[in-house]
Every structure is written in structure tokens, then in C-alpha cells.
Amino acid sequence: GARAASPWGAARALPAAPPGSPSRAGYSDEMMMGPQQGAVASAAPVQPAPPQVAEDFLTQTQNVGISQMAKPTVNGGAYARFMSLFEKGVSYSVNREQKQIEIGRHPDCHIVLKDKRASGKHLRIYRDEHFHYFVEELSVNGAWCNDIHMTRGHTRALHNGDVLSICVHYGSEELQPFAAYTFQLADHCSS
């Protein structure tokens, strides 16, 4: 790649843009790297920059290579996940194609619980065509969405960061909680 003089010290190598890359189209090396030491600005008219999405702008701490990297998918294409508050490092992914999952003791549930206080199918998590998620309580044993107690047939919208507790509130000191999960959307996931 080309070398650019850095005002902070030695010259650094910039990676070459991939062939046909829109990020350099219509830009000279001087426009991409700034004026080089001893360079004279040309009087040629400069084409206006194409419109860009805010995410595509380079910041002072980014180089061209980073701006051209594909955005990673979370958990191999997962759209959302449920992170266990009681099992360290355990999370359950929900892919874009999955329109619903169930949590309960039944072996067909996406998240299978072992505690006898949980029903066979305790909660149903589903989404609409706009990827808005909802939780429906299917059990007489109840559940909690954050600090809201849910009874059988009760449905609530799920938002990033919501905590679902099965039967017992996850913060209970009187009763022993056994299953609670933080709902996390992929664009908010940290890994």
C-alpha cells in the first residue's frame, strides 16, 4: 500500500483498497491520506463525496482496512439470545428464521429446565414480522418479566435487557430462584 506521513511520527502503511471497492472510488491518494509532506495541492476540481451511512465514516482512530471489514454476525447468525443468570457462560441463541421458542421442562423446548416447579411448556417467546419479541406465560406457576409478575395467558413485549424469571423472581431472597435469563438482541450483544 501507499505510505502516508503521519503528524505523530514515522510514516505508516495504509492497506490497499480491494479492487472495485466503493470506499476509494473517485478519491485520490491525497484525499484518502491527507497531503503528504512537501506535496502541492492541485487545482483540479474535486468531485463531491458520495452519500454515506454514518457507520461508514472513518474516525481518527480507524484506518481504511477496518472500515472495509464486514460486520460480524453474532453466534453464527443469531438474532437474539437468552443469557442465563444462574449458569455462568450459558446462553441460548434465537435465529432470524425462528418465529417462536418455548421454555419449560418438555424435551422439545428450546430451553429445557430440570426444576419440577417449571411446567412442561412454561413460556412461549415469539416475534412478529417486524422482529418485535413477546413473551407469553403458559403456566399456572407464573413467571416474571423484570419486576412484573405474569400469570397464565399474560403476554408482554420483550425489550433488550429484559430479565425473565421462571416461577420465582430472580432477586428473591425468600424463595430459591432456579432459572432466569436476560433477553439480548443481536445488535446489542457484546460477543
| Residue pLDDT, tens place only, 2-49 | 444 444 444 444 444 445 444 444 444 444 444 444 444 444 455 555
Q: Is 38 left (phi over 0), alpha (psi -120 to 50) or beta?
A: left
pLDDT, tens only, 147-186: 999 999 999 999 999 999 999 998 888 888 899 999 999 8
Nearest to residue 15, comparing CAs of 70, 66, 80?
A: 66
Backbone angles phi, psi at 63, to 5 degrees: -110, 175
Per-residue pLDDT reduced to its tens digit, 128-147: 999 999 999 999 999 999 99
Q: Does 62 have pLDDT greater than 80? A: no
Residues 6+ apart with CB under 8 A from 91: 75, 81, 82, 83, 84, 184
Map out the domains of the chain with their CATH numbers: 1-71 (no CATH), 78-188 (2.60.200.20)
